[in-house]
């Protein structure tokens, strides 16, 4: 079963972390990636650039309109995701719990099953 | 010789050659690599140069040579190099170790996903790419899974397990059941490859059955697969929409497969102890036996689910018994039994529970509640085909 584990980040929480704490999160992700690569459960992972760099595209009267992002004015933004293929939902939740962000108040880790996918994942 | 015929030959012989090599040298990981290379060489050479007179001997020789090459290239294993290269390549194997190989691939140290991938590659002769496509994961993920599985087997000792281990047979049957379900369950993706998976599961289960004809669970599992697979063509419309059992065109069920499945199901019930696969086969046989949906012997199905519930309790079994109970005593009785599942964490919010409840509510005349339940079930499923089906049920109630 495939699941998308998305990482939701509150910039205020992130800014309040010390350098050591930030480094620990980075290391934690490294360890996590090693582990799920070795177990054959990682399909792909992406980290996204800061939402201040995002652009929102809409087409109005056949003309594209590009405005500054982020699209949703929320406290948290989507920081990146892991796409995994694992045994069942329970295992996906267990994997999500290993991500360092899950241990930090204000950083969210969300798990949702994949329903449809297309494209070349090996590219 | 045509290419599909070559493919069939390779699928049959590759596990036999691998079995012979592992029996001789141990070292499953290296042997598996060597056989993969020999199979690759055969797929390149045979279509052009013709199939050798003894394809199995050809494969054995090439694989042995590759194994020697591998060992030679590993300096640290010089000692073993002498041992291996001094031996003549094994003769054409006189024993078929395919079953032992199957037991090795279903090593309990592996996760079911790894057992499945390794079984399909080493015993089923599928390439990594084919397995990846069948399970809709990237090839790199599948390759990582297989290589990790081989390492684990090496660590655990890659000699053949004792063939009499009842636990291991249970794992083997479970893996075959998983492969079959992956091929049978309608979901998005390449349907052709998935039909191949169901066929491969049946082929491998036949193989186990040929070696262990007296094991009633093996017989039961084979019967279950044949009886289920016989309905395949009628389970979806040409556009891929689900057709429920009571609306399927029974004249299009695959009759020879049903006949064989019925015979096997009867044979398995004649055995001593009752196991879950036998009971599921008996249930499938009861459905197959009914001339029409209305003519189904629901009392028998209900009785079989009662026994199944007792020997292998599982909320899904209770859910299925509720369907049978509703057919005998009416939808209210079914709904009362379903209510006992609400407290179960595994079932709360499960789309199957919601959709069965919706169906029984519809039959009991509570259309508003049924509509709501169909909609919730549609949201809860991860299968697009099932979602379309449940949404169309919900829409139908509004008309």
Write out pLDDT tens, residues B317-369. Answer: 999 999 999 999 999 999 999 999 999 888 888 899 999 999 999 999 999 99
B136 pLDDT tier (thresholds 50, 70, 90): confident
**Is B382 in the A-facing interface, judged by CB distances under 8 Å?**
yes
Q: Is residue A118 part of a domain?
A: no
Task: For chain A, give the percent of residues with pLDDT over 90.
Answer: 47
Q: Is residue B305 part of a domain?
A: no
Residues B256 and B342 reside in one and the same domain = no
Mean pLDDT for all residues in chain A:
88
Q: Is residue A121 part of a domain?
A: no
Does position B160 have pLDDT exceeding 70, yes or no? no
Cβ atoms of residues B212 and B225 within 8 Å: no
Q: What is the pLDDT of residues B221-259, one digit of tens each?
A: 999 999 999 998 898 888 778 888 999 999 999 999 999
Residues B140 and B103 reside in one and the same domain = yes
Does position B164 have pLDDT exceeding 70, yes or no? no
Q: Kindly report which listed range (A35-44, B13-22, B233-242) carries the lowest average pLDDT score.
A: B233-242
Residues B333 and B392 reside in one and the same domain = yes
Q: Is residue B291 part of a domain?
A: yes
**Is B140 in the A-facing interface, judged by CB distances under 8 Å?**
yes
In this prediction, residue B289 carries a pLDDT of 93
Domain count across chain A: 1
CB contact under 8 A, A85 and B140: no
Range of the domain at A31: 2-113
Cβ atoms of residues B373 and B354 within 8 Å: yes
**Is B111 in the A-facing interface, judged by CB distances under 8 Å?**
yes
Q: Is residue A99 part of a domain?
A: yes
**Is A87 in the B-facing interface, judged by CB distances under 8 Å?**
yes
Q: Is residue B200 part of a domain?
A: yes
Among the ranges A49-53, A66-70, B286-290, which has the highest mean pLDDT value?
B286-290
C-alpha A86/C-alpha A98 separation (Å) is 14
Q: Is residue B287 part of a domain?
A: yes
Residues B15 and B112 reside in one and the same domain = no
Nearest CA in chain A to B383: A115
CB contact under 8 A, A42 and B141: yes
Mean pLDDT for all residues in chain B:
87
Range of the domain at B71: 1-94
C-alpha B83/C-alpha B73 separation (Å) is 14
C-alpha B106/C-alpha B330 separation (Å) is 44
CB contact under 8 A, A113 and B382: yes
Q: Is residue A103 part of a domain?
A: yes
CA B93 to chain centre: 28
A69 Rama class: left (phi>0) / alpha (psi -120 to 50) / beta:
beta
Q: What is the pTM for the complete model shown?
A: 0.83
Q: Kindly report which listed range (A105-109, B355-359, B382-386) carries the lowest average pLDDT score.
A: B382-386
Does position B80 have pLDDT exceeding 70, yes or no? no
Mean pLDDT, to the nearest integer, of B14-26? Answer: 88
A82 bridge partner residues? A5, A45
Nearest CA-CA distance, residue B114 and chain A, Å: 8
Q: Is residue B23 part of a domain?
A: yes
In this prediction, residue A123 carries a pLDDT of 43
**Is B114 in the A-facing interface, judged by CB distances under 8 Å?**
yes
ipTM: 0.77
Residues B123 and B182 reside in one and the same domain = yes
In this prediction, residue B192 carries a pLDDT of 55
Packing angle between helix B98-105 and helix B166-184, nearest 10 degrees? 80
Domain count across chain B: 4
CB contact under 8 A, A122 and B114: no
CB contact under 8 A, B135 and A38: no
C-alpha B315/C-alpha B349 separation (Å) is 13
Tell me which chain B residues have a C-beta less than 8 angstroms from the C-beta of A121: 137-138
Q: What is the pLDDT of residues B371-381, one digit of tens each?
A: 999 999 999 88
Does position B79 have pLDDT exceeding 70, yes or no? no
Mean pLDDT, to the nearest integer, of B19-40? Answer: 88
Q: Is residue B357 part of a domain?
A: yes
B128: three-class secondary structure by DSSP? helix
Nearest CA-CA distance, residue B122 and chain A, Å: 18
Does position B14 have pLDDT exceeding 80, yes or no? yes
Residues B137 and B179 reside in one and the same domain = yes
Instruction: Show the 3-state SS of A55-77.
Output: EEEEEECCEEEEEECCCCCCCCE
Residues B290 and B336 reside in one and the same domain = no
**CATH, residue A16:** 3.30.70.1060
**Is B311 in the A-facing interface, judged by CB distances under 8 Å?**
no
What Rg, from alpha-carbon coordinates, does chain A have? 16
C-alpha B42/C-alpha B48 separation (Å) is 10
């Amino acid at each position: 079963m495939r699941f998308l584990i998305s990482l939701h980040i509150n910039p205020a929480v992130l800014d309040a972390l010390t350098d050591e704490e930030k480094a620990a999160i980075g290391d934690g992700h490294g360890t996590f990636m090693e582990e799920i690569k070795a177990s054959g459960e990682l399909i792909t992972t992406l980290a996204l650039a800061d939402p201040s760099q995002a652009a929102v595209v809409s087409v109005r009267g056949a003309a594209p309109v590009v405005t500054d992002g982020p699209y949703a004015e929320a406290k948290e933004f989507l920081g990146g995701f892991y796409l995994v293929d694992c045994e069942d939902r329970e295992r996906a939740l267990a994997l999500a719990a290993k991500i360092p962000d899950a241990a930090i108040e204000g950083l969210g880790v969300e798990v949702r099953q994949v329903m449809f996918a297309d494209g070349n994942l090996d590219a | 010789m045509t290419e599909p015929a070559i493919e069939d030959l390779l699928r049959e012989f590759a596990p036999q050659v691998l079995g012979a090599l592992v029996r001789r040298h141990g070292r499953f990981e290296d042997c598996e690599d060597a056989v993969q290379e020999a199979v690759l060489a055969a797929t390149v050479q045979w279509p052009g140069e013709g199939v050798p007179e003894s394809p199995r001997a050809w494969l054995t020789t090439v694989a042995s040579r590759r194994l020697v090459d591998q060992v030679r290239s590993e300096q640290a294993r010089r000692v073993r190099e002498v041992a291996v290269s001094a031996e003549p390549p094994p003769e054409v194997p006189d024993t078929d170790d395919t079953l032992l190989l199957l037991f090795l691939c279903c090593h309990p140290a592996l996760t079911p996903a790894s057992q499945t991938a390794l079984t399909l590659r080493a015993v089923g002769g599928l390439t990594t790419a084919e397995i990846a496509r069948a399970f809709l994961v990237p090839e790199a993920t599948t390759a990582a899974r297989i290589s990790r599985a081989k390492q684990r087997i090496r660590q655990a000792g890659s000699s053949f397990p004792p063939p009499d281990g009842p636990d291991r047979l249970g794992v083997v049957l479970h893996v075959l059941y998983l492969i079959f379900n992956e091929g049978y369950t309608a979901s998005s993706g390449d349907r052709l490859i998935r039909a191949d998976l169901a066929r491969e599961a049946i082929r491998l289960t036949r193989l186990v059955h040929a070696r262990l004809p007296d094991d009633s669970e093996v017989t039961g599992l084979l019967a279950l697969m044949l009886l289920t697979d016989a309905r395949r063509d009628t389970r979806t419309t040409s556009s891929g929409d689900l057709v429920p059992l009571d609306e399927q065109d029974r004249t299009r069920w695959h009759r020879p497969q049903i006949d064989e499945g019925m015979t096997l199901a009867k044979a398995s019930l004649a055995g001593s102890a009752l196991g879950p696969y036998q009971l599921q086969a008996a249930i499938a046989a009861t459905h197959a036996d009914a001339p029409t949906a209305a003519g189904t012997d629901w009392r028998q199905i209900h009785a079989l689910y009662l026994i199944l519930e007792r020997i292998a309790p599982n909320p899904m079994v209770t859910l299925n018994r509720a369907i049978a109970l509703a057919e005998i005593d009416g939808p209210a009785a079914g709904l009362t039994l379903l209510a006992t599942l609400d407290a179960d964490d595994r079932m709360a919010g499960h789309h199957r529970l919601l959709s069965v409840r919706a169906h029984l509510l519809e039959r009991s005349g509570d259309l508003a509640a049924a509509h709501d339940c169909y909609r919730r079930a549609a949201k809860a499923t991860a299968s697009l085909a099932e979602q379309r089906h449940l949404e169309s049920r919900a829409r139908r109630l509004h008309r």
